[in-house]
Structure 1
Amino acid sequence: MKVGVIAGGISSEREVSLRSGQAVFNALKELGFNVVFIDAGNDLCEKIKEEKIDVAFLVLHGGWGENGGIQGMLEVMGIPYTGSDVLASAIAMDKEVTKKVFIYHNIPVPPFKVIHKRDYLTSNFNLESIGFPCVVKPAHEGSSVGVNIVKDEKQLNEALNNAFSYGNRVIVEKYIEGKEIHIGVLENRALGGVEVRPKKGFYSYEAKYTKGMTDYILPPEIDDNLYEKLKELGLKAHQALGCKGATRVDMIVDYAGNAYVLEVNTIPGMTETSLLPKIASLAGYDFKTLVKEILELALKDEK
């Protein structure tokens, strides 16, 4: 069996994806698999045909790697792949649709508004119901790309301009002050969670991928009952979107103990600073065991 680790891509998260992919490739190599590394570009289909892979291990972050596009191509080619299927990937990548699905399933989300570029350009929008501080983010990016915490009207236009540079829809969300907790899910089991404490106050792209810029608390320093509730909520969010394989569910818990789900990452980072491997270690998975389990789920799961 030949495994193709597909990483890189053309999104804003390309460099992180390459690092994740290299870590997965090394783990599979050490486990004795026949494995090849494929840097995903516009010629991806040709590369896959050339390599004659039997299964794809997807480590693409953002863009068409995480939005269902590559998954659809692999299905047409008859090649099984790790992680969520086309529909779940597309839903999870779209923050607006994700929130609407969560609301339908009674999964708490922060109050939010969706702004379309045409309304922004004509000033045909109103954020009074959200107020300040708020969080401005593109509807279709990951890894905190284009995300800004806005404290007043003066910062709002700059944040909106930045977010709109990534697409035609922007989410403006009420800022919830509290603890940032991430729950790792593997198929139908919540593995545990990690609390992240960025040293600069915001879990930005830089804080996520630069060593020493964030403290990781494993397990989170919260009440045991609340921790169990968060794990249940994480699994519920994973299932509500129809996700498969390994995901990471991002949440904020305010100081009154109310939890809000922000998003589900269908292809979590697999670098040395990534959260899913840290969380999996709580459940007894070292990195190689986690990688092997993700691959095996793809092989036994008929999408």
Structure 2
Amino acid sequence: MTTSAIHTVTVLAGGISHERDVSLRSGRRVVDSLAANGIQVELRDPDASLLAHLTSDRPDVIWPALHGASGEDGALRGLLEALDIPFVGSTSAAARLAWDKPTAKELARRVGVRTPRGITLSHDAFRELGAAGVLAAIAEEHPVPVVVKPARGGSAQGITVVDEPGGLPRAMVDAYTYCDDVIVEQKITGTEIAVGVIDTGDGPVALPAVEIVPRSGTYGFEARYNAGETTFYTPARLDAAAGEAAAAAAVAVHEALGLRHLSRVDLIVDAAGTPWFLEVNVLPGLTETSLVPMALDAAGYELGLVYAALAEKAVRDRG
């Protein structure tokens, strides 16, 4: 991985999403890693002056570290494409596919990756068809245990594991707080893992799977970003066949959605060793407790060199 073509990088972090604090932590870690490799790095919190600044003082590469809609729904990436400024991460079109969880699940299913059975319901339909009737229909078709989550969003915000039928109404309300569309899906029991996928020029490669064991039993927002709340095993405690299947599933999802450079695929591996796709993140967290940096470290990579190589590939991919 060579890094001679990159001199200046602008890291975008912060924003106005629910994940602002996580974004700032990720952005600062990227800045530190790139600066340690001799690259001039600027950290910017996007605001109304950003586009004018990028037009007048163009960096070699943009590194979006904006979690949530502002960085992952494709809008910002589309503007960067219009400005013809290289950026690390997936294109705007691919980001839109991944951002919408029902779409990502369907594309994963089409390439042979198992996905939990479920239903997606808009807030309008929930209200207009009558909450009581809708909840009864959901409970009949998708009996507990189920997972209720926003159809778009990250960092496990708005996600509830429902083990008792009486918990479904509250879970729906909580999920609708974050998104107008909500998924209710079968809960898959097994080993929860995250598989990072990187491509610095030789095609997408799966990193060692990170096994996630939260103290609370649920890998929610607090468990993700507070040290000591979750135990991680890297590589995951899977047998060889299950590990290979998970790696293959992660790369298949990455390719099916047309992602590039860097992604993280979240899976559950059941007792039979079958990986089930949950969701994919085109901008995985890069904080001190995030999973992709753990996997890179376990694979023997030096973070700064990998990040610089990804920035260089962004320049090559602009055309």
Q: Return the TM-score normalized by structure 2.
A: 0.91
What amino acid is aligned across from residue 211 of structure 1 in structure 2? A
Distance of aligned partners of 1:289 and 1:132 in 2 relative to their CA distance in 1, 3 Å threshold: same
Q: 1:201: how far off? A: 0.2
User: Which has a greater percent of strand?
Assistant: 1
What amino acid is aligned across from residue 65 of structure 1 in structure 2? G
User: Using the alignment, how far apart are the partners of 1:9 and 1:47 within structure 2?
Assistant: 16
Q: Quick check: 1:109 aligned with 2:112?
A: no
* Structure 1 partner of 2:152: 140
Q: 1:130: how far off? A: 1.6
User: Using the alignment, how far apart are the partners of 2:121 and 2:53 within structure 1?
Assistant: 39
* Structure 1 partner of 2:310: 294
Q: Quick check: 1:269 aligned with 2:285?
A: yes
Q: 1:166: how far off? A: 1.5
Kept in 1, the 8 Å contact 2:113–2:275? The answer is: no
* Structure 2 partner of 1:195: 211
User: Using the alignment, how far apart are the partners of 1:69 and 1:144 within structure 2?
Assistant: 21
* Structure 1 partner of 2:4: none
Q: Quick check: 1:170 aligned with 2:182?
A: yes
Question: With CA pairs under 8 Å and 6+ residues apart, which has the higher RCO, 1 or 2?
Answer: 2
Out of 119, 125, 132, the residue aligned to residue 119 of structure 1 is 125
Q: Return the TM-score normalized by structure 1.
A: 0.96
- Bigger shift: 244-253 or 293-302? 293-302
- Bigger shift: 50-59 or 170-179? 50-59
Kept in 2, the 8 Å contact 1:38–1:47? The answer is: no
> Structure 2: any 5+ residue segments left out of the alignment?
1-6
Out of 96, 105, 114, the residue aligned to residue 99 of structure 1 is 105
User: Using the alignment, how far apart are the partners of 1:249 and 1:168 within structure 2?
Assistant: 24
* Structure 1 partner of 2:59: 53
User: Using the alignment, how far apart are the partners of 1:151 and 1:228 within structure 2?
Assistant: 31
Deviations 1:222-246 (A, max 9, x none): 1111101111111001001000001
User: Using the alignment, how far apart are the partners of 1:42 and 1:209 within structure 2?
Assistant: 29
Q: Quick check: 1:76 aligned with 2:82?
A: yes
* Structure 2 partner of 1:66: 72
- Bigger shift: 197-206 or 111-120? 111-120
Q: Quick check: 1:37 aligned with 2:53?
A: no
* Structure 1 partner of 2:276: 260
- Bigger shift: 229-238 or 32-41? 32-41
Q: 1:175: how far off? A: 0.8
Deviations 1:59-88 (A, max 9, x none): 111112111111100011110100100111
* Structure 2 partner of 1:221: 237
User: Using the alignment, how far apart are the partners of 2:224 and 2:81 within structure 1?
Assistant: 32
Kept in 2, the 8 Å contact 1:138–1:166? The answer is: yes
Kept in 1, the 8 Å contact 2:246–2:269? The answer is: no
User: Using the alignment, how far apart are the partners of 2:164 and 2:53 within structure 1?
Assistant: 49
> Structure 1: any 5+ residue segments left out of the alignment?
none
Give the 5 Å matches for 1:3-18.
3-18=9-24
What amino acid is aligned across from residue 44 of structure 2 in structure 1? I
What amino acid is aligned across from residue 75 of structure 1 in structure 2? E
Q: Secondary structure at the match of 2:250?
A: helix
User: Using the alignment, how far apart are the partners of 1:43 and 1:162 within structure 2?
Assistant: 34
Q: Secondary structure at the match of 2:208?
A: strand
Q: 1:102: how far off? A: 1.4
What amino acid is aligned across from residue 171 of structure 2 in structure 1? A
- Bigger shift: 29-38 or 76-85? 29-38
Query: What is the root-mean-square deviation of aligned Cα atoms in Å?
Result: 1.4
Q: 1:153: how far off? A: 2.5
Q: Quick check: 1:87 aligned with 2:93?
A: yes
User: Using the alignment, how far apart are the partners of 1:196 and 1:261 within structure 2?
Assistant: 15
Q: 1:42: how far off? A: 4.3
Kept in 1, the 8 Å contact 2:146–2:161? The answer is: yes
User: Using the alignment, how far apart are the partners of 2:302 and 2:232 within structure 1?
Assistant: 17
* Structure 2 partner of 1:232: 248
